[in-house]
């Protein structure tokens, strides 16, 4: 097939308005692409305007791990468990590696767990130690 560049001079005369229709369609498609790109940028700006700064952790800090994606593991552990009463976070784990550029942190998980130890910061919650002077009854034995 020939690779012909159609212009008004070499366009067949029996279809006079086809070239105008093609040019109009190409212009409309380009305008639609521009409008989509503009709306994506506006949506990203609006979404990021009220976004809270994500927490950062240091090596040695303690953090709780979310159990949101491990519901099945919890339910199969004991037949008396129900998802409604499932703990939202696991006990605090020590952070052994940080990668703030990608917002991932590696936790010191127990050996018996079958979980990859690196998690996004959205799955972690910082551990705040108990103040025994303010809350002496909350101290663990």
pLDDT in tens, the chain (141 residues): 456 666 666 666 666 577 778 888 999 999 999 999 999 999 999 988 887 788 889 999 999 999 888 777 666 666 676 777 778 888 899 999 999 888 899 999 988 878 889 999 999 999 888 777 887 777 665
> Is 117 a domain residue?
yes
Distance CA 89, CA 107 (A): 14
Which residue segment(s) compose the domain that 40 sits in?
7-51
pLDDT computed for residue 14 by the predictor: 61
Could you tell me if 124 and 132 are in contact, meaning their C-beta atoms sit under 8 angstroms apart?
Answer: no
Q: Which of 122, 139, 121 minimizes the C-alpha distance to 130?
A: 139
Asked whether residue 74 falls in the same domain as residue 101, the answer is yes
Predicted model pTM: 0.58
E strands in the chain? 62-66, 89-99, 104-107, 118-120, 124-126
Asked whether residue 32 falls in the same domain as residue 75, the answer is no
Asked whether residue 88 falls in the same domain as residue 42, the answer is no
> Is 141 a domain residue?
no
| Number of structural domains found in the chain | 2
Asked whether residue 67 falls in the same domain as residue 119, the answer is yes
Asked whether residue 40 falls in the same domain as residue 67, the answer is no
Asked whether residue 17 falls in the same domain as residue 45, the answer is yes
Q: Which of 103, 107, 95 minimizes the C-alpha distance to 121?
A: 103
**Helix, strand, coil content of the chain in percent (nearest 5):** 35, 20, 45
Distance CA 17, CA 27 (A): 15
pLDDT computed for residue 118 by the predictor: 93
> Is 101 a domain residue?
yes
> Is 136 a domain residue?
no
Asked whether residue 32 falls in the same domain as residue 87, the answer is no
> Is 138 a domain residue?
no
């Amino acid at each position: 097939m020939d690779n012909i560049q159609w212009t008004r001079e070499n366009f067949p005369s029996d279809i006079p308005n086809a070239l105008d229709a093609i040019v109009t369609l190409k212009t409309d498609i380009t305008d639609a692409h521009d409008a989509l790109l503009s709306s994506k940028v506006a949506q990203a700006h609006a979404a990021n305007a009220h976004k809270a700064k994500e927490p950062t952790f240091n090596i040695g800090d303690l953090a709780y791990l979310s159990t949101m994606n491990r519901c099945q593991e919890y339910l199969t552990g004991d037949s008396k468990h129900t998802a409604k009463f499932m703990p939202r976070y696991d006990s605090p784990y020590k952070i052994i590696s940080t990668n703030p550029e990608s917002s991932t942190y590696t936790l010191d998980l127990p050996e018996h767990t079958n979980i990859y130890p690196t998690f996004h910061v959205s799955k972690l919650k910082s551990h705040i130690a108990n103040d025994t002077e303010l809350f002496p009854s909350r101290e663990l034995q």
